[in-house]
Amino acid sequence: MTRRSFTLQILWPFLTLLLIALGVNTWGALRFMQDFDVDQSMDSLEIQARLVVHALESLKGDYRPEQVDPICKALGQTTGTRITAILPSGAVAGDSSESVGAMDKHGDRQEVRQALEGQVGRATRFSHTLHEDLVYVAVPIVDSGKTVLVVRASKSLAAVQQTMRRALTLTLLLGLAIAIGAVAAGGALARRISSPLQSMRRGAERFANGELESRVPIPGSVELADLANALNQMAAQLRERIQIVSRQRNELDAILSSMAEGVIAIGQDERILTVNRTACRWFGLDEDSARGRYLHEAVRNPGIHQCAARMLSEALPFEEECLLAGPGERHIRVSASPLGDELGNKIGALLVLNDFTQLHRLEQARSEFVANVSHEIRTPVTSIKGYAETLLAEPPPEPEVQRRFLEIMMRQADRLAALVDDILALAGLEGAETDRDAAMGPVDVTAILDAAKQACQPMALAKGMTIALSADAGLTVRGNAMLLEQALANLLDNAVKYTEAGGEVGIEARRAPAGIAIRVRDTGMGIPAEHLGRVFERFYRADRARSRSMGGTGLGLAIVKHIAALHQGQISVESTPGQGSVFSLVLPSA
Ligand code: ADP
């Protein structure tokens, strides 16, 4: 359907109707005027014809052309009308403007025929002689019931026709003026109606563009004012609803975004409906572009696909564990449940993903730890038990053998005690990690260096070594003095332990760009490169036999690492086998 402007829709029928009315009216008026004029002309011709009849009656029946023609010519000239006298034979007896001899018979002319029958004949006809329309009136002269002569008066219609033409021109001009006026008035009227409609249309367009706080102006007419009010009301309600919906959506987004769990909602067609920030991070997705994509396209994890497919085909919620491969391997527990609409119809599946990697690691570490502890304990316990059995055997061993055995049992018991001490220290440190600020305060670095040195001095002296100490003045760190002392004592203890008699051991503290660097050096056996990365692990020993023989528990460096972490510090080691090692503990300055 072709659409036209409101103005044109009003204007066209209006104009057409007007033109038809004007046309019909003009045609009717002109027709009436013409008929009236012709009738008038005929009436005046009849009067003139009767005057001529009156004049001819003086001839007393002698209607020969030489009698009649002069009268016709004289009266014709006087009245300015063409007068013709016709005999019943049709022959012309007189004519005001032509010579009688040159004229043909006139008996067949319509008005003449009527007059020959005794009536007044009237006719309008085109004259081939004069080349114009003429009006004719014929009046009979009757003698004893018979027409003896017909007097015909005729006149050109040119004057009437000219009047008609002028009237027509005038009417057309008037009609045109009226039409122009009507178009202008109609246009103005249409504009008056359409301009509020236009402004309402613009208002509706603004609403469609989301400018719901704008308002449509209220027009003057009642009907349009109702429409404008209805539009404004609609916009206000729409705005309110959109605000509610967007507030709810924002709340939902905020909840979903701040969830530590990953959330993925999919439709029955496996397209993603919603995915939260956490899930996007895990699967490397963009929150906005992921929506609408197929799950198997966006998330490359067969475990998740299986859970989704299972949930879409089943009705009951379930839980499943998945592994997210990649650099940061994650252990995920997927809780799948059906996604329903407000009517309770299932419209998809909801997957809530819980990262239990940390828990998994802890469980693993704990079971490893238990295995390691059992293993560490078994050796001294087996040894003590073996020697005790030998001592209790009959006959008892020699007294000096007994003493040797008892000394071995004593050493093993010391090892067990050291192990228990270290395990307790580690457990204590792990507890402290959850309470970072426990007993933290400013610590004088030189004082802890000195205390650690004192603790290790006896063992060093026993090996004929001295511990060199050097520290920049006035160094302080924020921390726990006892723990820091323990960490440094562990490092110094190792340095002494793994350095042959005659070697050198030193401890120093320096200001460094990253804080305060405390270094423990020795010129001992060193650590082979392949072990360097792992010596801080619990129960890891680079040289198992030597560690055991030295009464090492394998936990000393793990304790140091924990204490460093507790102080937001870094522990590292550089070592060259056969030349010595340097352990660096960098702590943030106070
Ligand atoms: P241990 O009780 O066995 O000394 P640690 O955790 O203190 O356990 O040390 C782990 C391992 O690192 C040791 O077994 C040893 O092999 C190696 N190690 C530690 N400190 C030194 C050092 N200063 N020189 C050589 N090796 C060392």
pTM for this structure? Answer: 0.51
Segment 29-57 mean pLDDT: 90
Atom of ligand 1 nearest to the CA of 541: 14
Supply the residue whose CA is at minimum distance from atom 2 of ligand 1.
Answer: 552
The pLDDT tens digits of the residues spanning 514-550 come to: 899 999 999 999 999 999 999 999 889 998 888 888 8
Domain stop point among 148, 163, 178: 163
DSSP 3-state assignment of 159? Answer: helix
pLDDT band at 436 (very low <50, low <70, confident <90, very high): low
567 in Cβ contact with 432 (< 8 Å): no
pLDDT band at 161 (very low <50, low <70, confident <90, very high): confident
Residue 552: predicted pLDDT: 85
State the distance from the centre of ligand 1 to the C-alpha of 527, rounded, in angstroms.
8
509 lies in the same domain as 569: yes
Three-point CA angle 495, 419, 408, nearest 5°: 90
| DSSP designation for 559 | H
The pLDDT tens digits of the residues spanning 55-83 come to: 988 888 888 999 999 999 999 998 889 99
315 lies in the same domain as 461: no
CA–CA separation, 479 and 134 (whole Å):
137
Any idea which of 32-36, 191-195, 502-506 has the lowest mean pLDDT?
Answer: 191-195
CA–CA separation, 535 and 560 (whole Å):
11
466 lies in the same domain as 519: yes
Ligand 1 close to Cβ of residue 63 (< 6 A): no
Atom of ligand 1 nearest to the CA of 422: 2
State the distance from the centre of ligand 1 to the C-alpha of 165, rounded, in angstroms.
132
The enclosing H or E element of 583 equals strand 580-587
CATH number of the domain to which 506 belongs: 3.30.565.10
Which residue among 496, 535, 536, 573 is best mutated to probe the pocket of ligand 1, counting the most ligand atoms within 8 A of its Cβ? 535
Any domain includes 372: yes
296 lies in the same domain as 393: no
Residue 551: predicted pLDDT: 79
Segment 15-28 mean pLDDT: 87
Q: How is 18-70 classified by DSSP, letter by letter?
A: HHHHHHHHHHHHHHHHHHHHHHHHHHHHHHHHHHHHHHHGGGTT---HHHHHH
Which residue among 416, 486, 541 is best mutated to probe the pocket of ligand 1, counting the most ligand atoms within 8 A of its Cβ? 541
Asked if residue 433 has pLDDT above 90, the reply is no
318-324 and 272-275 strand pairing: unpaired
Asked if residue 100 has pLDDT above 70, the reply is yes
43 lies in the same domain as 150: yes
404 lies in the same domain as 446: no
The pLDDT tens digits of the residues spanning 441-452 come to: 899 999 999 999
State the residue range of the domain holding 570.
437-587
Domain stop point among 163, 191, 222: 163
Asked if residue 9 has pLDDT above 70, the reply is yes
Dihedral pair phi/psi, residue 191, rounded to 5°: -65, -35
State the distance from the centre of ligand 1 to the C-alpha of 536, rounded, in angstroms.
9
CA–CA separation, 194 and 186 (whole Å):
12
Note if the bond before 395 is cis, omega within 30 degrees: yes
pLDDT band at 429 (very low <50, low <70, confident <90, very high): confident
Segment 271-278 mean pLDDT: 94
| Domain count along the chain | 4
pLDDT band at 438 (very low <50, low <70, confident <90, very high): low
Amino acid at 487: A
CA–CA separation, 184 and 193 (whole Å):
14
CA–CA separation, 570 and 557 (whole Å):
13
CATH number of the domain to which 385 belongs: 1.10.287.130
- Average pLDDT of the chain to the nearest whole number: 90
332 lies in the same domain as 412: no
| DSSP designation for 294 | B
Residue 296: predicted pLDDT: 92
pLDDT band at 435 (very low <50, low <70, confident <90, very high): low
Atom of ligand 1 nearest to the CA of 520: 23
First to last CA, the chain: 84
Segment 251-256 mean pLDDT: 92
- Cβ–Cβ contacts within 10 Å for residue 188, how many? 10
299 in Cβ contact with 307 (< 8 Å): no
455 lies in the same domain as 576: yes
Ligand 1 close to Cβ of residue 580 (< 6 A): no
156 lies in the same domain as 265: no
CA-nearest of 523, 456, 521 to 486 is 456
DSSP 3-state assignment of 426? Answer: helix
Supply the residue whose CA is at minimum distance from atom 7 of ligand 1.
Answer: 556
Any domain includes 236: no
318-324 and 330-340 strand pairing: antiparallel
pLDDT greater at residue 433 or residue 209 = 209
Q: How is 304-355 classified by DSSP, letter by letter?
A: HHHHHHHHHH-SS-EEEEEEE-SSS-EEEEEEEEEEE-TTS-EEEEEEEEEE
343 lies in the same domain as 478: no
The CB-side HSE value for 72 (13 A sphere, CA atoms) comes to 27
Any domain includes 458: yes
pLDDT above 70 as % of the chain: 98
446 lies in the same domain as 509: yes
Domain stop point among 145, 163, 181: 163
Residue 1: predicted pLDDT: 59
Residue 396: predicted pLDDT: 87
The CB-side HSE value for 223 (13 A sphere, CA atoms) comes to 3
Q: Which residue has the tokens 């004088």?
A: 444
Any domain includes 95: yes
Any domain includes 177: no
State the distance from the centre of ligand 1 to the C-alpha of 580, rounded, in angstroms.
12
Any domain includes 133: yes
Q: What is the dihedral of CA 121, 126, 127, 130, to 10 degrees?
A: 130
Any domain includes 237: no
CA-nearest of 379, 371, 372 to 548 is 379
Supply the residue whose CA is at minimum distance from atom 3 of ligand 1.
Answer: 554
CA–CA separation, 406 and 408 (whole Å):
5
Residue 437: predicted pLDDT: 55
Any domain includes 420: yes
State the distance from the centre of ligand 1 to the C-alpha of 504, rounded, in angstroms.
17
137 lies in the same domain as 33: yes
Asked if residue 457 has pLDDT above 90, the reply is yes
Asked if residue 494 has pLDDT above 80, the reply is yes
CA–CA separation, 138 and 125 (whole Å):
14
Residues paired with 521 in a beta bridge? 506, 582
CATH number of the domain to which 112 belongs: 3.30.450.20
Which residue among 423, 519, 547 is best mutated to probe the pocket of ligand 1, counting the most ligand atoms within 8 A of its Cβ? 547
Three-point CA angle 576, 582, 588, nearest 5°: 145
Asked if residue 24 has pLDDT above 80, the reply is yes
